[in-house]
Structure 1
Amino acid sequence: MTSLLHRFDDHTPFMARLQHAELAYVCASQAAARMLAENYVGLPFAPLPA
């Protein structure tokens, strides 16, 4: 998440474009957004018994 959402002083123009492309991909792709969310908070837990 940090590498997608924060600007870094040492980034070259190429690195900044790459960061923007990665963020755009996560915003446009449901699969990429799900992967990011699962990696950020963990994979889904098994349902709790009722």
Structure 2
Amino acid sequence: MNDHAMNDSPRKITTEMILKALKRSAKEARRLAKMHGTKIWVMQDGKVVGLEP
């Protein structure tokens, strides 16, 4: 078990925390795509397009 599972008082999750986590995961996805030479797939103008990281 990790420390969070044993904590008696649950932490309030805020929109700012969620946004920070999403930005962190997007940055990691770009890093991995660049490392492996693959594209990042995103939605632009209602279409799914592959972008170079």
Higher helix share: 1
- TM-score range, shorter-chain basis? 0.3 to 0.5
Higher strand share: 2
Q: Which TM-score applies when normalising by structure 1?
A: 0.39
Higher relative contact order structure (alpha carbons within 8 Å, sequence separation ≥ 6): 1
Q: Which TM-score applies when normalising by structure 2?
A: 0.37
